[in-house]
Amino acid sequence: MKRGARTSIGDRIGVGLVLALGVLGLAVLVVPSLIVLAVSFDTRAFVSFPPQGFTLRWYAALADNAQLVRAIVNSLWSGLVVMVLCILLGVPAALASGRGRFRWRGAVPVIVLLPHAVPGVVLGVAVLFAGSAVGLRPSLALQSFAVTAFILAVLVRTVLARLERLDPALEEAAANLGAGRARAFRDITLPLLLPAILAGAAFTFIEGFDNISIAIFTHGMRNPPLPVELLGIVQTETTPLVAAISGVQILLSTLLVAIVAATIGLRHVSD
């Protein structure tokens, strides 16, 4: 619709509604993070909004708290392991499902969703019991494996969705021009799947970092991840320290998304 063009009242109301819903949606998504950020700079020693003054003391307190820093490092490790495992397992699974010739290839995206069929807490307890049955004690490794099983579906489905929209003729064209299967995958399929792999990987990293329902049962006793540590803190601590921790996490997430956006944005990918 061109600016200045005649519009009916109905159109205007429609556009207004869409705009209002958009603003509302954005607000729901962004405002809580902004409030938390604002509170994290509050000079007062309790959580209140609107904040007063500006200080970095809660961030300093966080840096001084060895237990919390360790928890953040644990969570970073968990995020990294979950992400790498999801890429290593999920990309081949998506390729098998999308390009394979076997009979049950359509079952792959359903099978990876199965862990989502049970509540996360139940899954956590189940992994705890199953792990101890085979001699796996709660640990950062067990926690990472369990979260991987849970979140693998996101990567598989993201990559598969992209794969299904890729013209199969692209790979045939590469073969026709002389490329073997490996070469065609490297030159054509992989670069075109990369945005989906990166987007999926970002999600799995965040889940590995932030998951609590599974992690609370499966983490190593001396290696609690950040969400588990935080749960303990918010029960006793009322200072903006918790907000500062959230501030760090918001910063990390934003950074991650920015990296993905920049990487994808630099590619001339047409759909």
Partner 1 sequence: MSGQGVAAFLDVAGVSKAFGAHAALDDCTLAVRQGEIVTLLGASGCGKTTLLRIIAGFVAPDSGTVRLGGQDALAMPVNRRPIGVVFQSYALFPHMTVARNVGYGLRVRGVPREEQRRRLAEALELVSLTAFADRYPAQLSGGQQQRVALARALVLAPQLLLLDEPFSALDAKLRAAMQSEVRRLIKSVGITAVFVTHDQDEAMGISDAIAVMRGGRIEQAGPPAEVYDRPASAFVADFVGAANHWPDEARGGRVTLPAGLSVPSRVIGRVSVMVRPHNLEPCPVGAEGAAWRGRVAFVRPSGPFLEIEVLVEGAPLPFRVTVPRAGAVPAPGEAVALRVRDLSACFVFPRLDQAAA
Binding region for partner 1 (CB under 8 A):
167, 169-170, 172-180, 183, 187-188, 191-192, 267-270
- Which C-beta is closer to partner 1: that of 86 or that of 193? 193
Find the distance separating the first CA and the last CA of the chain, reported in whole Å.
25
DSSP-assigned states of every residue in 83-146: HHHHHHHHHHHHHHHHH--STTGGGHHHHTTGGGGS-HHHHHHHHHHHHHHTT--S-HHHHHHH
Contact between 158 and 203 under an 8 Å Cβ cutoff? The reply is yes
Task: Compare residues 118 and 269 and give the one whose CB is closer to partner 1.
Answer: 269
Minimum distance from residue 107 beta carbon to partner 1 (Å): 20
- Closer by beta carbon to partner 1, 136 or else 194: 194
Q: Which of 228, 97, 226, 100 is nearest to 158 (CA)?
A: 97
Report, in Å, the least distance between residue 180 CB and partner 1.
Answer: 6
Q: For residues 248 and 73, what is the distance between their CA atoms, to the nearest angstrom?
A: 12
State the minimum distance, in angstroms, from the CB of residue 269 to partner 1: 6
Phi-psi region at 135: left, alpha or beta (left = phi > 0; alpha = psi -120 to 50): left
In angstroms, give the least distance from the CB of 87 to partner 1.
20
CB of 166 to partner 1, least distance (A): 9
Residue 66 backbone dihedrals phi, psi, to 5 degrees: -60, -35
- What would the two tokens of residue 259 be? 């990296």
Residue 111 vs 166, nearer CB to partner 1: 166
Closest distance between partner 1 and the C-beta of residue 204, in Å?
A: 24
For the CA atoms of 182, 184, 187, 190, what is the dihedral angle to 10 degrees?
Answer: -80
CB 93 within 8 A of CB 157: no
- From the list 189, 190, 198, 193, the residue with the least C-alpha distance to 261 is 198
Q: What phi, psi does 118 have (nearest 5°)?
A: -110, 150
Q: Cα(209)–Cα(188) distance, rounded to whole angstroms?
A: 32
CB 95, min distance to partner 1, A:
18
Q: Which is nearer to partner 1, 136 or 166 (CB)?
A: 166
CA 11, CA 8: separation in Å to the nearest integer?
5
Q: Compare residues 135 and 178 and give the one whose CB is closer to partner 1.
A: 178
**92 vs 191 by CB, closer to partner 1:** 191
> Quick one: 90 or 195, whose CB is closer to partner 1?
195
CB of 182 to partner 1, least distance (A): 11
